[in-house]
Each structure stands twice: as structure tokens, then as C-alpha cells.
Homo-oligomer: A and B are copies of this chain.
Amino acid sequence: MIPVDPQRFLNDLHELRRFGAAGVSKGVIRPAYSDPDIAARDWLAQKYRDAGLEARFDATGTVWGLADGPSLLVGSHSDSQPEGGWLDGALGVICGLELARAGQAAGVPISAVSFQDEEGRFGVTTGSRIWAGHTTLAEADTLTDSTGVTFAQARARMADRAGEPVDPARFTGFIECHIEQGPWLDEAGEAAGIVTDIVGIRDMRITFTGEQNHAGTTPMHRRRDALQGMLAFQALIAERFRNVVTPQTVWTTGHVDLHPGAHSIVPGRCTFSMQWRDGEGDRLARMEEIIRTAATEVAQARGLELQFSDMLGLEPVPMDPRFQEALASAAQVQAPGRWRRMQSGALHDAASVAAKMPVAMLFVPSINGISHAFEEDTAEADLTAGLNVLADAVARLAG
């Protein structure tokens, strides 16, 4: 086992929390390229240097602590949601720092990383997707955030720090530690989750267009109400999904836009998001078929026009079996009987990096399953247990 220092690790974790501290619970406001985000990355670079690693930024603002020669890479992201928790990403980053630092002392080459814009101010896992070749810097430069700032403009704020690109071939694999962000470990009183795969995601917008009309003078039987179309659609898919889904499958409508949106007007247009996630590509495809068929049936039955946006599709990403085994063996030593294998319902940088090398993920419990909120937290004992599982697993992989 790599000789990690749990107290030093916790101290660094709390120190990182001061960058963008929200002043509410332990929450942070540290979105990609904000002043606190840049300051946190500069702080991290200095920590890497202090540990004897080479600190290097790339053109996106991802910051690396590089060990000499071939090494294992450990890390995550230090940018946060607009209203984020203190551990989401930060935990994996400080695990990387502590392991790389302890590795330097023990003669085991471990590198560390904090990817930029995992939280998707400009996309989804933007920094790691560019680095792993899923998209180019030029393509990403045209992305805009919700206020119209382009990725090119945002990353220009860190341009003076950029060094030579970091070659993925120098790494023998990538391990990311992360809070679960769901309730399973916390409910079961378990300390660790070994991720088997990161679920695939399908995401689209659906628009029903009916007839905008006066809410007082248009009889119910004459209406072509776009909201009522959406309601019928939701009921239909909920019924038809029953025979297809598993307890891990999820589907969500998180955004609804009604036009014109007035109390006294029968809504003529309803655009809504439809996102679904599952570990199996086949199931995602069966759900897509149900969605498209149900929407078409509803539109025909109610005289509505129907439009599907382009669909965003991210395939499920399996974790490397050998890396999973190392984590599982370590968990059985460090937290005997208190760990499980599980899917990740959330997307992570590991999904991007999997295109380039073996990857694995370790989850620690989220209290009440809460994340993407100031209240997000994990018990200290679970944080250090996670660090110890990582330290044990990394030694097995290096050995």
C-alpha cells in the first residue's frame, strides 16, 4: 500500500474548499474559468511542484502533476456546478495529489490531474473529451455557455499558463475517485462502490405543436392543447417502459417550455427535454423506440405536429476488469463486507479517458444521496476509507 497521509489529505481537501466557498454549508461556487476556479488550479499546480512533480497546464486549463516516466494517472476535476458541493470532483483531485505525493516518497510513479469543465459550462466533460480526442479544440472553441461566452474566450483567460500537450501514452491507466451522488451506499451503510460501467445517456428535446387559442372561448373538444399532448405522452411511456427497464434505469423530463405561457391562452407549443440512462445500449435503443412511437401516436390522436431534436448519445463505458479487480481486492481488505460493485448513473471524466487507456472508478457514499447542492457531504471516515482503498489498489496495480 502507498503510504498516504489521511490528515494531510483532509487538510488539502478543506483548503481547496476555500476557493469559491459559498458560505452555505460546505458548498462551493467554482464553475470552470471563474476566478476561484483559476486560483484553485494555480494552488494545485504549486502543490504538485511542492510534491516533486512537474506541474503543467494544457490549452484548456486542465492541470497535471506529472511523475517521470510511465505512470498511473489519478484525478478528477476541480471545477464545480454553479451551486456545487465541496467534494464533487475535488475529492478525486485531492486523492490524486495525495497518491502522487505519497508515490514520489515511495518511489512509485503516480501522476495527478484536474480536468477542466467537467461540469459542462460549455458541454459535457469538456476538458477530458478534448484531451482524449472525442472532439477537437477548434470544435470546442465555438461552444457557448448560457450567457453567450464562447469556450475560446473563456480558455483565453488561462492561455498564458499553457505548456506542451500531455501525451496520453505516458499513462498506464486512469483511476477516478468520486462521491456516488446517489443513495445506494449511504442507504446500505457501505463504504465503497467499485464501478462496473458508466451508463449510456440519450438526450433530446421533443416539441408538440397544436393551436394557440383563447382559454375562455375554445371548447375542450375543439382544443389542440400542446401541454395535454405532453401529459398523454408521459403517461404512455411510463406504462410502456415497465416491461423494459431495470431498477437502475432512469428517465427524466427536467425542462418544459410552454408557448405562449399565459394563464388565459391554450398553449400552442410545448417543448420538453427527454433524457434516459441505462448501462446497456440495447435497452437505451428499446426505450428510444418506445419514446418515438408514443410521441407519434399522441400527435396523431390529438392533431398535433411533432418534432424531435437531434439526439445526444453517449454509449455505456465499461470499466477495465483488471483495474476493477485491484479495487475490489483493496476494498475487501480496507472495508471488508462493506463495498459493492455498481453502475455509475452519472457521467465522469473516466468515460472520456477510457478511449485512451484502462480506467476504473471508486465511489464513496453521499449522505442522503445529495449532490449538485451546497448540502452535499460525506463522512470523514468514508473519505479516508476511500483514500486507503485507492492506495491499496494502486500498489497492487504497480506491483
Contact = CB atoms under 8 A, between A and B. Distances in A.
Interface string A251-264: 11111101011111
A137 interface: no
Contact of A267 (B218, B219, B254, B373): B254
A254 B265 contact: yes
A277 to B, nearest CB: 5
A214 B344 CA distance: 12
Contact of A217 (B217, B255, B371): B371
Nearest to A201: B216
A333 B218 CA distance: 29
A346 interface: yes
Interface in A193-252: 199, 201, 203, 212-222, 225, 227-228, 231, 234-235, 247-252
A354 interface: no
B264 A222 contact: no
A396 interface: no
Contacts of A251: 220
Tallying the copies of this chain within the complex gives 2
A247 to B, nearest CB: 6
Contacts of A117: none
Given A234-B231, A235-B231, A346 B216 contact: yes
Contacts of A220: 247, 249-251
Given A258-B254, A263-B254, A182 B215 contact: no
A144 interface: no
A263 B247 CA distance: 21
Nearest to A312: B263
A370 interface: yes
Q: Which residue of A260, A262, A371 has the most chain B CB atoms within 10 A of its CB atom? A: A262
A256 to B, nearest CB: 5
A345 B180 CA distance: 54
Nearest to A260: B254
A215 B252 contact: yes
A347 interface: yes
Question: Main SS of chain A's interface residues?
Answer: loop
A314 B365 CA distance: 54
A249 B345 CA distance: 46
A64 B251 CA distance: 59
Contacts of A346: 214, 216-217
A369 interface: yes
A258 B261 contact: no
Contacts of A329: none
Given A222-B183, A227-B253, A256-B258, A263 B214 contact: no
Count chain B CB atoms within 10 A of each CB in A199, A222, A249 and give the residue with the most.
Answer: A222
Given A182-B218, A255-B258, A213 B275 contact: no
Nearest to A253: B227
B213 A369 contact: yes
A208 to B, nearest CB: 13
Contacts of A215: 250, 252, 254, 275, 277
Interface of A: 180-184, 199, 201, 203, 212-222, 225, 227-228, 231, 234-235, 247-256, 258, 260-267, 273, 275, 277, 344-347, 369-373
23 contacts: A181-B214, A181-B216, A183-B218, A214-B371, A214-B372, A215-B277, A216-B277, A216-B344, A216-B345, A217-B345, A217-B346, A217-B371, A220-B249, A220-B250, A227-B253, A227-B256, A228-B234, A231-B235, A235-B235, A254-B262, A254-B264, A255-B258, A255-B261
